[in-house]
Structure 1
Amino acid sequence: MCQPSKFIQDNFLLENTFAEELYHEYASDMPIIDYHNHLPVREIAENQIFDTMTKIWISGDHYKWRAMRTLGIDEEYITGSASDREKFGKWAYTVPYTMRNPLYHWTHMELDRYFGISELLNSESADRIYDLTSEHLNTEAFSTQNLLTKMNVASLCTTDDPTDALEHHQKLEKSSFKTKVSMAFRPDKAIFIGADSYLDYIDKLAQVTETNIDSYDRLCDALRNRVAYFHDNGCRLCDHGFEHMYAEEFTETEVKTIFKKKREGLNLSKEEVLKFHSALLQFLSECYHEFGWVQQFHLGALRNNNSRMLHKLGPDTGWDSIGDFQQAKSLSKFLNTMDSMDKLTKTIIYNNNPIDNDMMASMIGNFNDGSIKGKVQFGSGWWFMDQKEGMIDQMNSLSNIGLLSCFIGMLTDSRSFLSFPRHEYFRRILCNLFGKDIENGELPNDTKWIGKLIQDICYNNAKEYFDF
C-alpha cells in the first residue's frame, strides 16, 4: 500500500518559484521577535520541562477546546479530570475534522518543527505520537528555554498585570538565557470600573503600592508608580484589550466623583463607566508617552458570551467571538486627542473584525506624522483573524491603503510554547503574496529588493520599532 507523501513539504503554501526563493533565501532564517504573547514567565524563568503533550499543547489552548466542543466531545476530556493520555486521544480524534481550520496546519507544523514527526495526527496515530513526544519532552532539550532557542526567538514580551512583582523577569535578566524576555503592562483591570471585582483589584493595587487608593488622584499616582517600576525593570510596551476605544468627553470633577461613588459601593450609569474608562485611558496613554513606550490596543472582541460556562470555567476558556462594534469615531477621537497634546506615543492597533480592516488601515495614516517610521501600526491579523485568509486580508488592506513595507510583522498572541511555527506560517503567506505578484507582472522580478522588504517585515522593522 502506498504511503501518503509528507504533508508539510518544504514549499508548503509557496505557489511559485519566486515565492520559494523569497521564503528560503530571505525569510526562513530571520530571528523571531514575538512582541505580544501570554506565555507564563515563571515557566520560562524556571526552565520548566513538561512531561506530556497535553500539558504543553492542549492545556490552556481554547482554540483547540472550541474545536473539540463543536465536535461533541465532553468537557471531561477538555478541561475536566480525564487523564492526559485520554485528553490527547480526544484531540487526536478531533484533528482530521479540523481540515480547513488553521488548527490543522498549526498542529502538523508544530509536530514536525519541534519533534520531527511528519505522520498525520488522528485516532490511529494518537498513542504512538503521544509516547514519542513524551520521550522528547522529558529531556533537557525540550525545556521552555531550549524550545524558544530552537525556534530562533531573539526576544519576546509576556503580558503582565500592574500588580506583578516581576520577580521572574528579574531572574531571567540575571541569567545567561540569550532570548530577551521583556513584559507588556496590562492595566485593564484598573480601567474597567464596572466590573464586580473592581474594588478587590483596587485594594490589591493599593497593597502593592503601599498607598491608600481612596481617590482618583491616588489611583493615578499608584498606576504611574507601577509604570515607573515596570520601566525600571525593562518594560517598554503596554497592552489593552477593549471592545472599542474609549473617547468620551469628561471633566476632572466628574471622574473624581465617579471613582468616589464606586468606592462607596454606589451603582454607576453606563455613561459614567465610559467617562471613567476614557479618562483613565488618556492618563495612562500620557504616561506611556512620557516613558517612551509602545502602546497596543486589541479591539473588537466580544468576550464571555456564554454566561453558564463562564461561571463554570472562568474567562479565557473559549467563549468569545468577533464583535460588531462601531470603531472609527472613537478611535479617531482618542488618537487625535493624544496627537493634539503632542503625547501620542508609538501605537499598534489590532482589529478582530474583518469588515474594519480598510478603516483601520486608513486610520493609522492620519497619525503617521513623519516623526518615526511606521509610528502608528495596523497590527497583524489577531485572534479570529490570525489564519491564512485573515493575514492576507490584513496585509492587502495595509498594502492598498498604507505601506506594507513598514509593517512590524507577526506575533503569536499565544499561551503555548509550541506556537512559534506561526511565524513561519505568516512568513510563507507573506512570501507567497509577493511571489504571486511577481509572477503576474504586478511587481518587478527584483527578488533582492523584495527580499530585503520581506526581511524588514519579518524582523528588522520590529527590531527598529521596539529598539530591541
Structure 2
Amino acid sequence: MAKTFMDENFLLESATAQKLYHEFAAPQPIIDYHCHLPPEQISGNKQFKNITEIWLGGDHYKWRFMRSSGVTEDFMTGNQPDEAKFRKFCEVLPMGVGNPLFHWSHLELQRYFGTKTLVSGATAGELWEHCNSLIGTPELSARGLMVRSNVRAVCTTDDPVDDLAHHKAIAADGFQVKVLPTFRPDKAFNIDRAGFQDYIRKLSVVSGVSINTFGDALKALDLRLDYFAAHGCKVSDHAIDVAFFTEASDATLSGILAKAMNNEPVSKDEADAYKTGIMLHLGRQYAQRGWAMQLHIGAQRNNSARMFRNLGPDTGFDSIGDDLISAKIAHFLDTLDGDDQLPKTILYNLNPIHNEVLATMIGNFQDGKVVGKMQFGSGWWFLDQKDGMKRQLTALSQLGNLGAFIGMLTDSRSFLSYTRHEYFRRILCNMIGGWVENGEYPQDWAQLQKIIEGICYKNAEAYFKF
C-alpha cells in the first residue's frame, strides 16, 4: 500500500527517524547564515500583493523548470498577469516527478497557507483564491514569515559599498530576529569583469580613500570591514567560480590595478594574481576579527549570452562548472594557515565530484581551537535536493565529523524557503535513523539528541556567536 503523499512522516522511513525528527529536529530554531533576502523588504515588513509575487517572484529555480516545460518567458519575467503566471506554474508542476520543486512547493503551501491541495492546472483557481485570501495577514508579511518559521538570525548578502541603512533600521526598531549583513566583496577583486573600474571609483567615494595603488584598495576594504563589523557582521562570502592562486608583489599588483583602471587589457595570470592578493589580505582580516569566511566554488554563470543581455544575472541561466579546484584551494588555505591567519572557513562545491575533495580538504586545516573550524558546507544551489544533501552528508560523515556540522541554510531570495530547513532535517534524521536501525550506530538517545540538535541549530549558534 502506498504511503500518503507528504504526511507528517514524509521522508522518515523508520520509527527511529521519526523520533529523531519530531522530538529533536523539528523544535529547533533556525539560523539562516547565508541567504539573499532583500534587507529593504525586512526593514519595511513587506506585505506581498498576491501568491505569485511571494511564490514565483525572482525564483529562478521555478523559472528554469517552467522553461523546460515549454512555458514562454512572458509567464516568468514578462508582462503576463500575475494570475496567468500562477496558473501556468500550477499546470506544469505535476510534471516535476523527482524534482525538489515538487516537494518544496507543496511544503510551502502546507506550512504557510495551511492547504494540502495538490498543485495542478485543475486546482490552480482554488489555490489562487485560497492563498490570496490569506496573503494580506500579518503572518504572511516578510517579518511574520520569519517569526512564524522560528528564525533566530539571518545573514543577508551585501556589497562593501552598501550603507546598510536597512540593517540599521531593523536593529533600531527591536525586531526579534537578528538580521545581520554579510561582507560580499566579489566586485572588488573581479578585475577582469565589466564594471570593475566604476566599482572601484564607487568604493573610493564610500570609503573616502583615493584608490591608486593596491595598498589603497586594501585600505578602502579595511575601512568597509570596520563599518560592517560595527553593524554586526561576522561573516564574509565569496563566489569563487573558478579556483585561482597566483602570488605577486604589491608593486606588481599596483601595476595590474593601474592597467585595469586605464581600460588596458588584463591577462588571466594578472587577474588571478590580483584576486589572490585581495583574498589573502581579506582572509587575514577575517581571522583577526573572528569572522567566518564562506567560499562558494564552481558555478558557471550566465551561459546564455542572449538571455543575459535581456534579463541580466541570477535569472536561471547558470550551471555547474567542471574546473579542478583542489591544488589552488589548498594553496590558498595553506598560505593563510602558515601565518596562523586562517579564519573559520566554510567550503561549498557546486560540482558533486568535489564532495570528497572538500570533505578531506577541511581535515588538513582543523587546528583544535574551534569545534569544526573548517566546514564542508551543505549541498548548495543545484545540490540542495534530496540526493545532493545525502551525498554531502555521507561524504562528511565518512571523511570528517558530521556531529560538528553547522547544518543547512537557504541561499534563497524567498521568505517561504525556510521549508528547506525542514526538508534537510527530515533527510538528516532519516539517514541517521537508518544507521541506528541497521546497527551502525547505538540507540543512545541522549547522544543522538545532542547530534541532531547540534546540526540543526546549536552548532551554528556556537560557531557564529551571533
TM-score tier, shorter chain, comes to: over 0.9
Contact 2:347/2:377, CA 8 A, preserved across alignment: yes
* Structure 1 SS opposite 2:182: strand
Corresponding position: 1:297 with 2:295? yes
Counterpart selection for 1:224 from 222, 225, 232: 222
Deviation at 1:211, TM superposition (A): 2.8
Distance 2:437 2:203 in 1: 57
Distance 1:191 1:15 in 2: 47
2:341 equivalent in structure 1? 343
Counterpart selection for 2:65 from 67, 81, 89: 67
* Structure 2 SS opposite 1:160: coil
* Structure 2 SS opposite 1:224: helix
Opposite residue 215 of structure 1, the aligned amino acid is T
Matches within 5 A, 1:19-418: 19-418=17-416
Distance 1:292 1:309 in 2: 41
Distance 1:212 1:128 in 2: 59
* Structure 1 SS opposite 2:180: strand
Distance 2:242 2:194 in 1: 20
Distance 1:448 1:343 in 2: 37
Distance 1:170 1:6 in 2: 46
Opposite residue 129 of structure 2, the aligned amino acid is D
Deviation at 1:5, TM superposition (A): 8.6
Contact 1:245/1:334, CA 8 A, preserved across alignment: no
Distance 2:167 2:6 in 1: 36
Opposite residue 243 of structure 1, the aligned amino acid is D
Contact 1:6/1:118, CA 8 A, preserved across alignment: no
2:6 equivalent in structure 1? 8
Distance 1:463 1:295 in 2: 16
Deviation at 1:72, TM superposition (A): 1.0
Distance 2:209 2:465 in 1: 34
Opposite residue 319 of structure 1, the aligned amino acid is F
Distance 1:45 1:16 in 2: 43
What's the CA shift string for 1:28-49, capped at 9, x where partnerless?
0100000000000110011110
Distance 1:289 1:141 in 2: 39
What's the CA shift string for 1:269-295, capped at 9, x where partnerless?
111111111111111111111221110
Distance 2:212 2:219 in 1: 11
Deviation at 1:210, TM superposition (A): 2.5
Opposite residue 24 of structure 1, the aligned amino acid is H
What's the CA shift string for 1:124-175, capped at 9, x where partnerless?
1111111211111112221111110001001110000011100110011111
* Structure 2 SS opposite 1:107: helix
Normalising by structure 2, report the TM-score: 0.98
Counterpart selection for 1:453 from 446, 451, 459: 451
Distance 1:191 1:128 in 2: 50
Distance 2:459 2:210 in 1: 43
* Structure 2 SS opposite 1:159: coil
Deviation at 1:8, TM superposition (A): 1.8
What's the CA shift string for 1:219-247, capped at 9, x where partnerless?
11111110000001110000001113332
Deviation at 1:6, TM superposition (A): 5.8
Corresponding position: 1:430 with 2:428? yes
Opposite residue 222 of structure 2, the aligned amino acid is R
Distance 1:277 1:49 in 2: 40
What's the CA shift string for 1:96-125, capped at 9, x where partnerless?
011101000000000000011100011111
Distance 1:5 1:113 in 2: 20
Contact 2:302/2:318, CA 8 A, preserved across alignment: yes
Distance 1:377 1:245 in 2: 18
* Structure 1 SS opposite 2:77: coil
Opposite residue 440 of structure 2, the aligned amino acid is E
* Structure 2 SS opposite 1:324: coil
Distance 1:38 1:134 in 2: 25
* Structure 2 SS opposite 1:462: helix
Which stretch shows the higher mean deviation, 361-370 or 198-207? 198-207
Distance 1:12 1:459 in 2: 21
- Identity fraction in percent: 46
Contact 1:18/1:447, CA 8 A, preserved across alignment: no
Distance 1:451 1:5 in 2: 27
Opposite residue 370 of structure 1, the aligned amino acid is G
Distance 1:254 1:213 in 2: 15
* Structure 1 SS opposite 2:49: coil
Deviation at 1:254, TM superposition (A): 1.2
Distance 1:329 1:465 in 2: 27
Contact 2:21/2:426, CA 8 A, preserved across alignment: yes
Q: Which structure 1 segments of 5+ residues have no match?
A: none
* Structure 1 SS opposite 2:194: coil
Q: Which structure 2 segments of 5+ residues have no match?
A: none
What's the CA shift string for 1:303-324, capped at 9, x where partnerless?
1111111111000000111110
Opposite residue 424 of structure 1, the aligned amino acid is E
Q: 1:368 to 1:165 in 2, by over 3 A?
A: same
Distance 2:333 2:300 in 1: 22
What's the CA shift string for 1:73-106, capped at 9, x where partnerless?
1101010000110111111112101110100000
